[in-house]
């Protein structure tokens, strides 16, 4: 029998591979996604001013599109929109798999690894959960594990997700650590030896699940005047979110270098986002211009492993800048707005919505407004501004594929917090997600959607809309 030339075999193989490659109709255009397989919590984010790169590490299973042995995967970006995938940065080792954590630039060489070393602080998840460090001398590309790991031993089952920052008040490194349903604060001169400073949270906030991925940031708003700067403790919880599953709560108060004192009532719960798909929110270390820039995992543990994507699972939210404002009740709340880098994708106005676009809504505030996004299959997302109950809601019960989980079909609702004579709302739409923002940052709402074809119709009652394309 005549042999088929090798080059023909190779061409047929390439053609067959292309034809059988899984379709990715839900792959985002301007959100960070893993190149392939599973992703959850963002980790170790820092901005390198020498290269202008935003570094994003993330929880990753390189072998399958479901949660598994955790690694720190690595992406970098010049603009928080276009991401370059780099090799995995930190692999599991003898101390365990690599759970969530943070990274810092050790400018003063406090740890002894070298000036400006990038030091990652993370949870080693073995038989117990302990905290370890690794250092990088090439700008965060590759890491070497510290031979003295772990640097902080756990004494309870859930002892994880260290967020570390340099505290000017106490002149030392401070670690915020999630410990079941409280946080602990530790101090260290060198990132290797840690001393317990204080605890917070036993009687505050939502306790419907395990506390995870804490972050402590100092926020300000010039418009607050005499109120001045405040400290905000971001705290993720699963389950216990306002609409089931995972979510991000926060506490406003003060930090004196040792203790966090919350000014909110113990029973008060403040949510950073009022959708179902906003979790593991943490901020970048060393963001330019002293900005506080946050990003979250855009999913929910109720159904994260079974959403209808094939080659990859999960994406991150757009970058968001955080500050403070005072609501109508006199409460200090976190202002959440799309970062300037997120706005840079806004292109020219177009007539119809597409699978990736930005919609700017101007609603009168004198009557209820109803906004409906739909497609030719009759799938739709209905959003309602209720001026009587002072709420904004998003109904995704008929949005497309909801069959994979009975927890997915839902209506999410946020109070407006600040009443106005008119309202501006921005919708960032990208293939399988809708992120809604109050025009002045009073609230945010993030929800996944899985339509069988893009929403290409928009109807607005009680206002008007302008649709913008996404620039490349």
Cα distance between residue 90 and residue 33, in whole Å:
18
The DSSP bridge partners found for residue 413 are: 393
**Two structure tokens written together for 133:** 């460090």
256 is catalytic: no
**Two structure tokens written together for 261:** 């004192």
3-state secondary structure of 15: helix
Please say whether the beta carbons of 65 and 309 come within 8 A.
yes
Q: Please report, for residues 69, 308, 363, the alpha-carbon distance to residue 96 in angstroms, rounded to integers and kept in the order given.
A: 9, 30, 52
Cα distance between residue 59 and residue 21, in whole Å:
25
Which of 251, 261, 250, 253 is CA-nearest to residue 228?
253
The greatest distance separating any two alpha carbons of the chain, rounded to the nearest whole angstrom, comes to 90
The DSSP bridge partners found for residue 76 are: 55, 84
Total number of residues shown for the chain: 472
Q: Count of H helices and E strands in the chain?
A: 2, 33
Please say whether the beta carbons of 397 and 372 come within 8 A.
no
Collect all residues with Cβ–Cβ distance below 8 Å to 226 and sequence separation of at least 6.
none
Catalytic residue among 41, 161, 430, 438: 41
Cα distance between residue 101 and residue 162, in whole Å:
5
Q: Is the dihedral of CA 149, 155, 160, 165 positive or negative?
A: negative
Give the position of tokens 């929880």: 59
**Residues that are catalytic:** 41
């Amino acid at each position: 029998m005549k042999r088929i030339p090798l080059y023909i075999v190779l061409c047929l193989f390439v053609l067959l591979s292309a034809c059988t490659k899984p379709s990715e109709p839900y792959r985002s255009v301007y959100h960070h996604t893993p190149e392939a397989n599973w992703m959850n919590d963002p980790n170790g984010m820092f901005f390198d001013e020498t290269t202008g790169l935003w570094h994003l590490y993330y929880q990753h299973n390189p072998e399958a599109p479901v949660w598994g042995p955790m690694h720190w995967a690595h992406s970098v970006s010049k603009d928080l929109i276009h991401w370059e995938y780099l090799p995995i940065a930190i692999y599991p080792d003898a101390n365990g798999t690599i759970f969530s954590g943070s990274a810092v630039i050790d400018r003063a060489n406090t740890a002894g690894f070298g000036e400006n070393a990038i030091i990652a602080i993370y949870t080693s998840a073995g038989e117990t959960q302990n905290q370890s460090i690794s250092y990088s001398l090439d700008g965060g590309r590759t890491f070497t594990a510290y031979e003295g790991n772990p640097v902080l031993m756990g004494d309870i089952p859930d002892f994880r997700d260290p967020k570390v920052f340099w505290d000017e008040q106490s002149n030392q490194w401070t670690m915020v650590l999630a410990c079941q349903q409280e946080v602990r604060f530790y101090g260290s001169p060198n990132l290797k030896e840690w001393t317990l400073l204080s605890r917070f949270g036993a009687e505050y906030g939502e306790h419907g699940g395990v506390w995870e991925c804490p972050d402590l940031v100092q926020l300000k708003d010039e418009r607050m005047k005499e109120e001045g700067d405040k400290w905000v403790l971001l705290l993720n919880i699963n389950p216990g979110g306002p609409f089931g599953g995972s979510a991000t709560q926060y506490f406003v108060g003060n930090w004196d270098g040792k203790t966090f004192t919350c000014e909110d009532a113990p029973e008060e719960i403040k949510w950073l986002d009022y959708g179902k798909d906003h979790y593991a929110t943490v901020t970048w270390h060393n963001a330019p211009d002293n900005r506080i820039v946050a990003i979250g995992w855009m999913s929910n543990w109720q159904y994260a492993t079974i959403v209808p994507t094939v080659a990859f699972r999960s994406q991150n939210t757009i970058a968001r800048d955080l500050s403070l404002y005072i609501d109508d009740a006199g409460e200090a709340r976190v202002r959440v707005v799309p970062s300037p880098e997120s706005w840079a994708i806004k292109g020219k106005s177009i007539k119809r919505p597409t699978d990736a676009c930005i919609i700017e809504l101007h609603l009168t505030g004198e009557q209820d407004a109803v906004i409906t996004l739909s497609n030719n299959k009759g799938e739709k997302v209905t959003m309602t501004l209720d001026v009587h109950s002072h709420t904004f809601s998003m109904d995704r019960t008929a949005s497309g594929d909801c069959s994979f989980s009975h927890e997915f079909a839902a209506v999410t609702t946020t109070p407006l917090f600040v009443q106005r004579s008119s309202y501006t709302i921005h919708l960032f739409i990208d293939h399988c997600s809708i992120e809604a923002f109050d025009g002045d940052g009073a609230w945010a709402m993030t929800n996944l959607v899985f339509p069988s074809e893009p929403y290409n119709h928009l109807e607005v009652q009680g206002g008007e809309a302008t649709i913008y394309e996404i620039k490349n």
